[in-house]
Amino acid sequence: MESLFLIKVNDLKILTEIINFLERSSNLIKEVRDEKDLQKIISMNIGAITGKIMCVENMPCMEIDIFKDGEGVEVKLNRRFYEGFCQAYAIRAIFKEIKTAVLHVKNGVSQEEINAISLLAKELDIPTVVFDMLNGKVVYYYNPKEQKFLENF
């Protein structure tokens, strides 16, 4: 099956790798029930680190869900639309050299959720992807560097 995700996330290689993995492995992803397990499965398949702890002088340490080559992704499984954005924003603010994104993996997603996620992604200027496990594809994508977004509704 050819990927429906046609827009390459130029500025975040890790996000492109994650999307490709999710689309290839949608049947496996449907079986995952725990967010930490999802993070581990994704990390193992793209050669990333799960739960990377980052520290900087005079600041509290922070955990990044998935980390690879200076890029971090906050991964949320069936969570509320606003979750993950604060962490991604804080990581970007404190660790300026780390590029961050938010990935929501959901077992069905409403247009209202997409609208809210889209608003947050654009307001905070954070690359964001929503993957719907029910149909095995990306249903929302936002890349601020390209000023592009994709909605499959």
- Indicate if the alpha-carbon torsion angle 68, 77, 9, 4 is positive or negative: positive
**Residue 92 half-sphere exposure toward CB, CA atoms < 13 A:** 16
pTM value is 0.89
CB of 52 closer than 8 Å to CB of 80: no
* Selection from 115, 91, 93 nearest residue 102 by Cα: 91
Q: Determine the pLDDT at residue 151.
A: 53
Res. 90: pLDDT tops 50: yes
Q: Determine the pLDDT at residue 31.
A: 87
pLDDT tens digits, one per residue of 18-70? 999 999 998 888 889 899 999 999 999 999 999 999 999 999 999 999 999 99
